[in-house]
Chains A and B, each alone.
Chain A
Amino acid sequence: MLHINKLKSIFFLVLFLGINLLSAQESEWPPVLKIKIDKVLEKEYQSDNLTFEAVEISQSTEKNSVSKLSNNLFKVNSAGKFVGYIYASQAPSQDEVFDYLVVFNPKLEIAKAKVLIYREQHGRQIGSVRWLNQFEGVTVEDNLSLGKNIDGISGATISANSMTVAVSNLLSSIKLAKENGDL
């Protein structure tokens, strides 16, 4: 009986790993999010012929990076030519989570930061282009901090801080991935 249970556990473990391995090859964005990401990227790269390829992240990077890069970081090709990376994930707002996207150029500088889906009324101001423009041009060598090199927004302190922390963590994680030869 114990033997059968062990076999069952191994079967489900293999199934779970297999699903995760497959999903790492392509994005699992919900349709609404996919539409929004496509819209941003079509505008950013002035192209509707974009393909995404999940970046393979080494165990060492995955273990030591603050942000989860696997299955969230993608290489972007426009008509077959490498044009940069994108990272899509979620961060907490006051009571919910919001979806955001960060676009990197091939030199790993932030080309665009965008809040894509926001799920509560409080703190929506972080979606403003004027505020998000502060992230443009930032490199993996930079440390970001709300109130120091990123201006806060009245009425959106929690979400503004959350986005700043998320981007700052992403920069250090990307830096690590680069150092480990993942990028």
Chain B
Amino acid sequence: MILTKTNITMTSFLKIILNKFVLVAVLLLSYSMSFSQSKKKEMDIAAIKSMEGCYNVVFKYTETFAPEVDYEKAYDYTSAGLEWAEIIEETDNKIVLQHILIVNDTTVIKHWRQDWTYEKQDRYDYDKDNRWTYERKDKKDIKGQWTQEVYQVDDSPRYSGSATWTHVDGLSSWFDRANSPLPRREYSKRNDYNVMVRGNRLKIVGENWVHEQDNDKVIRKDGKEDVLLVQEKGFNTYTKRPNVDCKIGKDWWENNKEKWAIVRNVWEEIYNNHEAIVLNEKVDEKWLYQYLFDGENYTQAEDIKSIIEKYVAH
């Protein structure tokens, strides 16, 4: 074939057009991916934030399957109340929800707290014997995920896990498995297992949500495989009520939030050490929450810091 000047010009022209087309396609694709990623993140945030508000809560737990035939199942546990959940901190990548329990419409108890952080590399994982280990994940392992960190009523650590929110057919859900100490309902009553491996599934449908659990009660010993004692189903439902019904809880938080901001800051300093945390169960025969729930004492930063530090064994 003889290449003429016209042929060369045409070939160059077509090459330029093709290159530009590829460039535009790549730009469009990356824009579309980034758009859908940011859209997905918006949906994640909406799902997390939708847990805010006033709810009728019903907690139900029942033991299901035990590998040993002679295991005698514990009684079912049920409880109910009114719960106020408030977003107390919000940035682009973090949402903090504080739960306040209202019992018999008159008694207010600071309940659990859940921190949601986008693509969080650091977290504390429960080992056993009141010990939490520090973990740092690789960036690629937490891409697009949200870490849920759940704290006790005294803002000490409880459990945490990282997973991806999904939004399908009007249902937003998030599932992870997390090691945790015994739940409060069994903490001082049982010693036949020492770790609860939680299967946490959050389902948000409309204005209501469900915290469904498939938990393993296990016996954990150093250098040995976990031994399953029994499995448990948990079904905690949150049914929306008008916010005004939780006014007592909302007001309580308003009056106490400064003190609890100090408590969170003290713990934050401890978490920022990025070292394993071992906590003393009791100090002078008292649980930490018994000191911190004392409305008259332990209101000043130095007192709060001093009492929390007494619980941190190392």
Binding site for B on A (CB under 8 A): 36, 39-40, 98, 114-118, 124, 126-127, 129
Given the complex, which residues of B lie within 8 Å of A126, measured CB to CB?
A: 69
Counting CB contacts under 8 A, is B89 at the interface?
no
- B69 contacts A117, C-beta separation under 8 Å: yes
Pick from A98, A118, A124, A129: contact of B72, CB below 8 A.
A129
Given the complex, which residues of A lie within 8 Å of B73, measured CB to CB?
A: 129
Chain B interface residue number, banded = under 10
Question: What CA separation (Å) do A135 and B72 show in the bound complex?
Answer: 16
Question: What CA separation (Å) do A124 and B69 show in the bound complex?
Answer: 7
Given the complex, which residues of A lie within 8 Å of B70, measured CB to CB?
A: 36, 39-40, 114-117, 127
Pairs across A and B, CB under 8 Å, 10 listed: A39-B70, A40-B70, A114-B70, A115-B70, A116-B69, A117-B69, A124-B69, A127-B70, A129-B72, A129-B73
Question: What CA separation (Å) do A127 and B73 show in the bound complex?
Answer: 11
10 other A-B residue contacts (CB within 8 Å) besides A115-B69, A126-B69, A127-B69: A36-B70, A39-B70, A98-B69, A114-B70, A116-B69, A117-B70, A118-B69, A124-B69, A127-B70, A129-B73
Residue of B nearest to A125 (CB): B69
Max count, chain A CB within 10 A of own CB: residue among B70, B72, B73: B70
Given the complex, which residues of B lie within 8 Å of A115, measured CB to CB?
A: 69-70
Given the complex, which residues of B lie within 8 Å of A124, measured CB to CB?
A: 69
Given the complex, which residues of B lie within 8 Å of A98, measured CB to CB?
A: 69
Question: What CA separation (Å) do A178 and B183 show in the bound complex?
Answer: 50
Residue of B nearest to A116 (CB): B70
Question: What CA separation (Å) do A134 and B71 show in the bound complex?
Answer: 17
- Chain B 70-107 interface residues, beta-carbon cutoff 8 Å to A: 70-73
B71 to chain A, nearest CB (A): 8
Given the complex, which residues of A lie within 8 Å of B71, measured CB to CB?
A: 127
A108 to chain B, nearest CB (A): 23
* Interface 1/0 per residue, B180-221 and A, CB below 8 Å: 000000000000000000000000000000000000000000
Given the complex, which residues of B lie within 8 Å of A129, measured CB to CB?
A: 72-73
Given the complex, which residues of B lie within 8 Å of A114, measured CB to CB?
A: 70
Question: What CA separation (Å) do A114 and B70 show in the bound complex?
Answer: 7
Max count, chain A CB within 10 A of own CB: residue among B71, B72, B73: B72
Given the complex, which residues of B lie within 8 Å of A118, measured CB to CB?
A: 69
Question: What CA separation (Å) do A127 and B69 show in the bound complex?
Answer: 5
B69 to chain A, nearest CB (A): 4
Given the complex, which residues of B lie within 8 Å of A36, measured CB to CB?
A: 70
Question: What CA separation (Å) do A40 and B72 show in the bound complex?
Answer: 10
Residue of B nearest to A114 (CB): B70
Question: What CA separation (Å) do A126 and B69 show in the bound complex?
Answer: 8
A45 to chain B, nearest CB (A): 16
Given the complex, which residues of B lie within 8 Å of A127, measured CB to CB?
A: 69-71
A40 to chain B, nearest CB (A): 7
* Interface 1/0 per residue, B58-70 and A, CB below 8 Å: 0000000000011
B75 to chain A, nearest CB (A): 11
Max count, chain B CB within 10 A of own CB: residue among A36, A98, A115, A127: A127
Question: What CA separation (Å) do A74 and B69 show in the bound complex?
Answer: 23
A32 to chain B, nearest CB (A): 10
Q: Top 7 nearest A-B pairs by Cβ distance?
A: A127-B69, A118-B69, A116-B70, A115-B69, A129-B72, A124-B69, A36-B70
Given the complex, which residues of A lie within 8 Å of B72, measured CB to CB?
A: 129
Residue of B nearest to A118 (CB): B69
Residue of B nearest to A128 (CB): B73
B137 to chain A, nearest CB (A): 38
* Interface 1/0 per residue, B143-183 and A, CB below 8 Å: 00000000000000000000000000000000000000000
Question: What CA separation (Å) do A40 and B71 show in the bound complex?
Answer: 10
Given the complex, which residues of B lie within 8 Å of A39, measured CB to CB?
A: 70
A123 to chain B, nearest CB (A): 10
Question: What CA separation (Å) do A37 and B129 show in the bound complex?
Answer: 28
Question: What CA separation (Å) do A36 and B71 show in the bound complex?
Answer: 10
A97 to chain B, nearest CB (A): 13
B8 to chain A, nearest CB (A): 78
Question: What CA separation (Å) do A98 and B248 show in the bound complex?
Answer: 57
Question: What CA separation (Å) do A111 and B49 show in the bound complex?
Answer: 55
Question: What CA separation (Å) do A98 and B72 show in the bound complex?
Answer: 17
Question: What CA separation (Å) do A116 and B71 show in the bound complex?
Answer: 9
Max count, chain A CB within 10 A of own CB: residue among B69, B71, B73: B69
Question: What CA separation (Å) do A117 and B68 show in the bound complex?
Answer: 7
Given the complex, which residues of A lie within 8 Å of B69, measured CB to CB?
A: 98, 115-118, 124, 126-127
